[in-house]
Structure 1
């Protein structure tokens, strides 16, 4: 989806991983000072976004998988106050992936 704004720069989408072995999470953040409580994010991705008692956005799940990319980009695009951003997470280390205690 083109035109998605996020931590990678205005108008830029979060780059997709280079291959199937690179499973980076997508980091989701929200600027509550910009939020105007429109609710598009919570309707689009209810498992990721919620609203606090004051009506402003709360990120319920800041680390999301690559499979959620499309819905996350849509939520960012639909946000009228541009309060949401996506950025690539750190790649899992080879040691951590091998089940290091």
Structure 2
């Protein structure tokens, strides 16, 4: 899995960080930061949840 974030679309809700804190963080303005763009398989369910609940649809997931 590859994780991408569209920072200009991000509305700084922080839902991604709550769902997958090992993969996402926020900068000083609350904008999403991807900590691990190829996360371990054990986190894939959390990452999928983060993408699904993002109110701005700013997270994209792709196959490696």
Whether the TM-score (by the shorter chain) exceeds 0.5 is yes
- Which bin holds the TM-score, normalised by the shorter protein? over 0.9
Cα distance in 2 for partners of 1:45, 1:69 equals: 9
Cα distance in 2 for partners of 1:42, 1:75 equals: 8
- Higher strand residue share: 2
CA contact (8 A) 2:2 2:37 kept: yes
Correspondence for 1:74 among 49, 59, 63: 49
Larger Rg belongs to: 1
Which blocks of at least 5 consecutive residues in structure 2 are unaligned?
Answer: none
**RMSD across aligned positions (CA):** 0.8
- 1:5 alignment partner in structure 2: none
Instruction: Report how many residues are paired.
Output: 64
Q: What's the TM-score, normalizing by structure 1?
A: 0.61
